[in-house]
A and B are shown apart, each in its own frame.
Chain A
Amino acid sequence: MPYQSIKFIQTGSLAVGGRLLAEDQRSVQSGAQRSNSLTLGHRACQGCGEALGARIALDACQRATGGKTIAVNATGCLEVFSTPYPETSWQLPWLHSLFGNAPAVAAGVAAALRAKSRDDVRVVGQGGDGGTVDIGFACLSGMFERNDDVLYICYDNEAYMNTGVQRSGATPYAARTATTEPVGPEPGNKFGQGKNVPMIAMAHEIPYVATATVSDLRDLEYKVERAMEFRGARYLHVLVPCPLGWGSAPESTIEVARLATQTGLFPVFEAEDGEVVSATPIRHRTGVRDYLRIQRRYAHLFKPAERTEMIDRIQRGADRNITRFGLLPADDIDAELATVGAGRAEEITS
């Protein structure tokens, strides 16, 4: 992604305000003309990462298309909190059909636009992780395989939040959900690390795949704008913390998302035609404990006694991402390995 050097004032959030930039370089959100695709009055919880991510993503898309975006939504929190009629929050043409078919419905909209020679109008499909990595997965893969002209955005909050926080195929190892309770010898989610749909999308060799989080909204805007420069199937996977489901403080949503990236648990990268072309480096490397501790869904890893083995396993996953995506400069890794050895890196915090 493009970088520019600017003067900036260090704030607690480690972020740079859009107003420090020249007018034409400001973020979509800092512009007075932002479209407010998902406008006020919706019923999302306090601190909802999905509401934030969806607004930023769709506003960026609206700017990229000159206000000619059609959104297709899977069933889920985003659909429910935004539409109990007559209070729809959508300021753009919006269609909700079912839980498992948003990619196919979006493909249908794209096909209709093609038949009508409306190549100025673009389509975004969107859903949560359940609608994307589980029940909508076949439709998503079909849309990728046909290279339908759709940007599909998954707002991943790592469980079925709308139905009361049940485990999904994107739920990470050890996390507590209503169907992976922290009881018994293997508390929390005992399976893998969640389905890695960005990598699966890359395996389809679609033009563009990217990940983003709500901790770096400028990056999220950039990824959407970049995605809209391509035609064909594009996939954007956005990590959106859910205070309700994760047991994090509503005011900590940005921090939690940032820690997910700074631990290496959620690598932020983009890929074109199946190849990674850039990864956002970790700026302040953090051990996974700092990320886990501020979420009640991981409380059982620390109380009554610390489950060091489980935490180590999570750390190994983060370390693997760091190596795989080159999230730290190679010499940094070597230096750390020389001093602390692999597997104990969580002790090192910036």
Chain B
Amino acid sequence: MLRQIEGSRAVADAVAMCRPEVICAYPITPQTHIVEALGAKVKAGQLRPCEFLNVESEFAAMSVAIGASAAGARAYTATASQGLLYMSEAVYNAAGLGLPIVMTVANRAIGAPINIWNDHSDAMSQRDAGWIQLYAETSQEALDLHIQAFRIAEDLSVPVMVCMDGFLLTHAYERADIPSPDQVDNFLPGYEPRQVLDPAAPVSIGAMVGPEAFTEVRYLAHARQSQALTLIPEVVAEFTKTFGRDSGGLVRGYRLEDADTVVVALGSVLGTIKDTVDELRGDGMRIGILGISTFRPFPSAAVREALGSDGRVKRLVVLERALATGVGGIVSADLRMALAGGGSGRAAEPVMSTVIAGLGGRAITRMSLRTMLAEAVAGALEPLSFLDLNKGLIEREFIRARRTRRSGPVAENMLRDQGLTARIG
């Protein structure tokens, strides 16, 4: 059924139709609307049997999900930003224990300075936690990915994080096709755990493992997560058959057929990039897009396949909504690894530029993208650059720091400078 609906509500509807048995909630912007909506459904008795726990922290939220999942229940929670970091120890633990929890991450920046707006720093910080990470481009895809996520998680006994851009998707009203509960029931069978706390057949879960087997346990986690590279396309195919639309997957190409320049990105910014690429195509530029839908496991083979091995692609522009401080791009590093994995028979690797963009909710505009991509095509783009960087603001802070030892808190200085600039300008 088509509805004009807030992204968070669409996700809540989808999660509810997946019949979670335990939902734990701790408020943090911008994921709150999702668990609010789910809480209301549970309270109204529309979601039965389901326990909704208001917990005292994100650390507790993931811990409750761990206990619930180990006891054989389908468990769900949502978080963002500081909340994801606060639960990080339990995030790793859930994956280590092989518990198929599904969690929404409403992507938001990490402080300090505190910032509630969107970027991908939070989810990227947990990229090696052992969770599968799926990134949604639209509200519709966020909705769809949650339904797929339970299937993937439970099939592999690996937890899945569905990442959707905070505010841009969680708070935006878009048209979404809401499936019927029957469709979801047909697609998603009941949860059959591989391991469960059962007095009739007692097991110890979470025992200490020493050097004699730890590497093997980790290797298996890697092998199991890697199975998602085969499983996800199958799940998507089945999803398409059941719901009549294609959604998610490993990577999504857009106008790649003859592209010599390819923009790589994740999440909702892909929409803006598509519009920009359409414009640039109109100008005669041979440019396309590679959207990464599955970031963990990293779909190296799918990336290579999408980019071709004939040397047609000369330039890769990796637009990253997170920054590996002191290095640059996070996705870029994985891309390099993927391209290097192609073997020696490949043509020369494309030139790669990393563009850090949209940090802390800064809008990524078509105009800025056009300028940057034109530079890229002209070969003038640095290996690492920051989109729309206000260099004057930074220069002022450098000068201040040179002039006096006690130059004060950086972020607050810059805010004051910005106010001055605004007044003068």
Point out residues on A near B: beta carbons under 8 Å: 67-70, 72-73, 79-80, 83-85, 88, 90-98, 100-101, 104-117, 121, 138-139, 141-142, 145-146, 148
Near A by CB (< 8 A), chain B positions 80-112 give 89-90, 93, 97
Closest to B50 in A: A115
A96 to B203, CA, bound (A): 11
Interface string of B180-218 (1 = CB under 8 A from A): 000000000000000001110011111111100100000
Point out residues on B near A: beta carbons under 8 Å: 21-22, 24, 49-51, 53-57, 59-60, 63-73, 75, 89-90, 93, 97, 197-199, 202-210, 213
Question: A94-B204, A115-B73 given as contacts; is B197 within 8 A of A142 (CB)?
Answer: no
Do B67 and A72 have beta carbons less than 8 Å apart? yes
**Which residues in B have their C-beta under 8 angstroms from that of A80?**
208
Do B68 and A109 have beta carbons less than 8 Å apart? yes
The answer, among B49, B55, B199, B206, for a CB contact under 8 Å with A96, is B206
Q: Beyond A97-B63, A139-B59, list 20 extra A-B contacts (CB 8 Å).
A: A69-B199, A85-B213, A93-B198, A93-B199, A93-B204, A97-B67, A100-B59, A101-B59, A107-B60, A108-B22, A109-B197, A112-B21, A112-B75, A114-B49, A115-B51, A117-B49, A138-B57, A141-B56, A142-B57, A148-B53
Interchain pairs with CB closer than 8 A, number = 161
Do A105 and B207 have beta carbons less than 8 Å apart? no
Shortest distance from the beta carbon of A271 to any chain B beta carbon, whole Å: 23
Closest to A139 in B: B60
Do B206 and A138 have beta carbons less than 8 Å apart? no
**Which residues in B have their C-beta under 8 angstroms from that of A142?**
55-57, 60
Do A101 and B197 have beta carbons less than 8 Å apart? no
Shortest distance from the beta carbon of B377 to any chain A beta carbon, whole Å: 50
Do B199 and A95 have beta carbons less than 8 Å apart? no
The answer, among A113, A117, A148, for a CB contact under 8 Å with B71, is A113
Do A88 and B72 have beta carbons less than 8 Å apart? no
Do B53 and A146 have beta carbons less than 8 Å apart? yes
Q: Lowest 5 A-B CB distances belong to which pairs?
A: A108-B67, A142-B56, A96-B206, A112-B73, A104-B63
A100 to B68, CA, bound (A): 17
A109 to B197, CA, bound (A): 9
Closest to A148 in B: B53
Question: A101-B59, A107-B64, A121-B199 given as contacts; is B208 within 8 A of A116 (CB)?
Answer: no
Where chain A touches its partner, the secondary structure class is mixed
Please, could you name 17 A-B residue pairs with CB atoms under 8 Å apart, sorted by A?
A67-B199, A73-B206, A83-B206, A85-B208, A93-B197, A97-B93, A101-B66, A104-B55, A105-B64, A107-B64, A108-B63, A108-B67, A111-B51, A112-B73, A113-B71, A115-B22, A139-B59
Question: A72-B67, A85-B207, A112-B73 given as contacts; is B60 within 8 A of A104 (CB)?
Answer: yes
**Which residues in A have their C-beta under 8 angstroms from that of B49?**
114-117
**Which residues in A have their C-beta under 8 angstroms from that of B53?**
107-108, 111, 146, 148
Do B207 and A88 have beta carbons less than 8 Å apart? yes
**Which residues in A have their C-beta under 8 angstroms from that of B97?**
97
The answer, among B24, B70, B202, B203, for a CB contact under 8 Å with A109, is B70
**Which residues in A have their C-beta under 8 angstroms from that of B55?**
104, 107, 142, 146
The answer, among B54, B203, B204, for a CB contact under 8 Å with A146, is B54
The answer, among B54, B67, B89, for a CB contact under 8 Å with A105, is B67
**Which residues in A have their C-beta under 8 angstroms from that of B73?**
111-112, 115-116
Closest to A86 in B: B207
Do A111 and B206 have beta carbons less than 8 Å apart? no
A113 to B205, CA, bound (A): 17
Do A95 and B206 have beta carbons less than 8 Å apart? yes
The answer, among A84, A110, A111, A148, for a CB contact under 8 Å with B207, is A84
Closest to B94 in A: A97
Do B208 and A70 have beta carbons less than 8 Å apart? no
Do B202 and A94 have beta carbons less than 8 Å apart? yes
Do B71 and A108 have beta carbons less than 8 Å apart? yes
A135 to B394, CA, bound (A): 40
**Which residues in B have their C-beta under 8 angstroms from that of A105?**
63-64, 66-67, 70
Question: A93-B198, A111-B51, A116-B49 given as contacts; is B56 within 8 A of A106 (CB)?
Answer: no
Closest to A96 in B: B206
Closest to A70 in B: B197
